[in-house]
Amino acid sequence: MKDHLVIFDTTLRDGEQSPGASMTREEKVRIAKQLEKLKVDVIEAGFPAASVGDFESVQAVANVIQDSTICGLARAVENDIRRAGEAIKPANSGRIHTFIATSPIHMEKKLRMSPDEVVERAVWAVKLARQYTDNVEFSPEDAGRSDPDFLCRVIEAAIDAGAGTINIPDTVGYNVPEQFGALFKDLLTRIPNSDKAIFSAHCHNDLGLAVANSLAAVQNGARQVECTINGLGERAGNTALEEVVMAVKTRQDVFDVDTRIVTQEIVPASKLVANITGFAVQPNKAIVGANAFAHESGIHQDGVLKHRETYEIMRAEDVGWSANKMVLGKHSGRNAFKTRLEELGISVETEQELNELFVRFKSLADRKHEIYDEDIQALATDNNNESVENESYKLVSLKVSSETGESPVAKVTLWIEGQEHTAEAEGGGVVDATFKAIESMVSSGATLELYSVSNVTNGTDALGETSVRMEKGGRIVNGQGSSTDIVIASAKAYINALNKLKDSAVKAHPQAGL
Ligand code: KIV
Ligand code: ZN
């Protein structure tokens, strides 16, 4: 019997900390439902003290998820712990994850606290969290650059205070596998009460080693891995859930652990997170990249056709690639559509919202014969973007012309704060002209940092999904739009980003200090 490896997903918390990846409550609930289907053990749903919106998102996730533990992050301060405790209250099973930095540089420069004060605060925080739940996790932030002797001291005290999970974060992605593995071995051997807690690895990918470091930790006694779908996360991202899970499953000869992950739900989860955040998956990304199971060279194809295992160590269908099936078409009725929405975890709160979505579905089905789950997810995200209350800008109409030898021109009509405005502009291409026309009306002053288009499914009639990243005054937002017409999708994405920039809600970053 192998040990169970706890899969702790932090897409909704550490993943969301990635600039521009912020998600609405509805989007977080949709992803949480997919994570539950995937059977992750713990969902870190957010940092409730960051803002009212973050608190409500964690609470909403805690309300709907039955089968995974719902975790809220809290710095070692009273308000954070109380907010986390309240947010996870509705959960069947709730956890508070509290943390304080332990590396010399963080203690001295960020916290301005002595090591003794840090130990005292860690113990106090764990005890306060235990007043809300028996399930408390403690992290010595920047453990990867902390003194191992000091780590032993603070972790022993945290376990004595009631922490059942000890998470070891390599916060800045500085460690290498041999070293990180050895750290786990050292801590598990030297800490006298280490058997009273599950040790967990939380790695960042700055050197491209997050998955390797996490697996080295598992080989040296870690029994929880913290990870995100597609490796989403600040800077170079976090440990990719799909890579850890498939490494453990594929190399059962090497790892003494098992997960309960339903691997067929991996690709749907990956697509959903990419669609909602606008962070596209690179084609050669392991497991979930579009090329991950494509065998191009003739020799490989021949080998695979003769005997699959010659060149394949995993089966595409085992990670959910075959889940891409036609689900609905032009003749599907409202009930079939509603049922599929429910199956995909997409909640529509009012009849009017359902009607709007159904009209969009019908119009898509007229242009595209086969409708896949990914199309429905994209429609829902797009609908969600457009029905945001108090949005300042809305696309009314768009007309473009493009002709060889002529400058492309776009004519755009927008609702701006309740009034219709029209502008025309020329550009290097029709998308450029469209963005210029919009900008001439809104004068956002923001910089366009990234523009990308991808297709949701195959074929030239597929929905095009467009992402833009805009920056203004150090604030970064991502906007998404989808349509079978990529110019319209681009305009929608641009307008979505402008609406996000207008939204002044400020949220605290958990790692900015106490
Ligand atoms: O990377 C990190 O240190 C974190 C902590 C809050 C656990 O995300
Ligand atoms: Zn982190």
pLDDT tens digits, 408-437:
999 999 999 889 999 999 999 999 999 999
Q: What is the rounded distance in angstroms from the CA atom of residue 128 to the CA atom of residue 117?
A: 16
Backbone angles phi, psi at 164, to 5 degrees: -95, -15
Task: Out of 246-250, 284-288, 454-458, pick the least confident.
Answer: 454-458
Q: For residue 167, which atom of ligand 1 is closest to its CA?
A: 7
> For residue 49, what pLDDT is reported?
98
**Spatial contact of 75 and 100, defined as CB atoms under 8 Å apart:** yes
* Ligand closest in space to the Cα of 510: 1
Q: pLDDT-derived band of residue 325, with 50, 70 and 90 as boundaries? A: low
Asked if pLDDT for residue 454 goes beyond 90, the answer is no
Q: For residue 97, which atom of ligand 1 is closest to its CA?
A: 7
Task: Out of 17-26, 62-71, 189-198, 342-351, pick the least confident.
Answer: 342-351
Residue 238, annotated as binding a ligand: yes
Asked if pLDDT for residue 324 goes beyond 60, the answer is no
Q: What is the rounded distance in angstroms from the CA atom of residue 98 to the CA atom of residue 164?
A: 12
**Could you report the per-residue pLDDT of 23-33, keeping only the tens digit for each?**
999 999 999 99
In single-letter form, the type of residue at position 420 comes to E
Q: What is the rounded average pLDDT of the residues 395-405?
A: 96
Q: For residue 169, which atom of ligand 1 is closest to its CA?
A: 3
Q: For residue 141, which atom of ligand 1 is closest to its CA?
A: 3
Which candidate, 307, 303, 280, 283, places its Cα nearest to that of 293?
Answer: 283
Residue nearest to ligand 1 atom 2, measured at CA = 171
**Spatial contact of 372 and 324, defined as CB atoms under 8 Å apart:** yes
Give distance in angstroms: CA of 142 to centre of ligand 1: 7
Q: Which of 141, 151, 166, 226 to mutate to test the pocket of ligand 1 (most atoms within 8 A of CB)?
A: 141
Q: For residue 172, which atom of ligand 1 is closest to its CA?
A: 1
Percent of the chain surpassing pLDDT 90? 76
Q: What is the rounded distance in angstroms from the CA atom of residue 394 to the CA atom of residue 401?
A: 21
Residue 499 has which token pair? Answer: 């609406």
**Could you report the per-residue pLDDT of 329-353, keeping only the tens digit for each?**
888 888 889 988 988 888 888 898 8
> For residue 245, what pLDDT is reported?
98
Residues recorded for the chain: 514
Residue written as tokens 């089905």?
365
Dihedral angle computed from the Cα positions of residues 123, 58, 261 and 291, in that order, rounded to the nearest 10 degrees: -120
Q: What is the rounded distance in angstroms from the CA atom of residue 54 to the CA atom of residue 495?
A: 23
Give distance in angstroms: CA of 141 to centre of ligand 1: 6
250-286 CB burial, b ≥16 within 10 A, e <16: eeeeebebebebebbbbbbbbbbbbbbbbbbbeeebe
Give distance in angstroms: CA of 509 to centre of ligand 2: 12
Residue 445 has which token pair? Answer: 């002053």
Residue nearest to ligand 1 atom 5, measured at CA = 141
Residue written as tokens 């809300």?
132
Give distance in angstroms: CA of 97 to centre of ligand 2: 12
Q: What is the rounded average pLDDT of the residues 125-134?
A: 98
Taking the CB of residue 66, how many other CB atoms lie within 10 A of it? 8
**Could you report the per-residue pLDDT of 145-157, keeping only the tens digit for each?**
999 999 999 999 9
Residue nearest to ligand 1 atom 8, measured at CA = 14
DSSP for 475-498 reads EEEEEEEEESSHHHHHHHHHHHHH
Residue nearest to ligand 1 atom 1, measured at CA = 171
Residue 300, annotated as binding a ligand: no
All structural domains of the chain, each given as residue ranges with its CATH number in brackets, are 3-277 (3.20.20.70), 293-321 (no CATH), 326-385 (no CATH), 393-502 (3.30.160.270)
Q: What is the rounded distance in angstroms from the CA atom of residue 139 to the CA atom of residue 76?
A: 10
* Ligand closest in space to the Cα of 101: 1
Residue 335, annotated as binding a ligand: no
Residue 100 has which token pair? Answer: 């304080």
Percent of the chain surpassing pLDDT 70? 96
Q: For residue 10, which atom of ligand 1 is closest to its CA?
A: 8
Work out the mean pLDDT of the chain and round it to a whole number: 93
Give distance in angstroms: CA of 66 to centre of ligand 2: 25
419-435 CB burial, b ≥16 within 10 A, e <16: eebebebebeebbbbbb
Q: How far is residue 89 from each of residues 78, 85, 237, 320, 416, measured CA to CA in Å?
A: 17, 6, 30, 33, 41
Q: What is the rounded distance in angstroms from the CA atom of residue 268 to the CA atom of residue 250?
A: 20
Residue 338 has which token pair? Answer: 């509603």
Q: How far is residue 348 from each of residues 56, 339, 358, measured CA to CA in Å?
A: 18, 11, 11
Q: Which of 98, 99, 166, 514 to mutate to test the pocket of ligand 1 (most atoms within 8 A of CB)?
A: 99
Residue written as tokens 């970064």?
476
Residue 202, annotated as binding a ligand: yes
Q: For residue 139, which atom of ligand 1 is closest to its CA?
A: 7
Q: Which of 136, 139, 154 to mutate to test the pocket of ligand 1 (most atoms within 8 A of CB)?
A: 139
> For residue 374, what pLDDT is reported?
85
Evaluate the CA torsion angle 458, 461, 463, 468 in order and state its sign: positive
Q: What is the rounded average pLDDT of the residues 47-73?
A: 98
> For residue 387, what pLDDT is reported?
64
> For residue 389, what pLDDT is reported?
58
Give distance in angstroms: CA of 76 to centre of ligand 1: 13
> For residue 507, what pLDDT is reported?
79
Residue written as tokens 């789950």?
373
Residue nearest to ligand 1 atom 3, measured at CA = 171
Q: How far is residue 486 from each of residues 362, 430, 481, measured CA to CA in Å?
A: 19, 10, 9
**Could you report the per-residue pLDDT of 217-228, keeping only the tens digit for each?**
999 999 999 999
> For residue 390, what pLDDT is reported?
64
List, chain by chain if needed, residues with CB within 6 Å of any ligand 1 atom: 14, 99, 139, 141, 169, 171, 202, 204, 510-511
* Ligand closest in space to the Cα of 141: 1
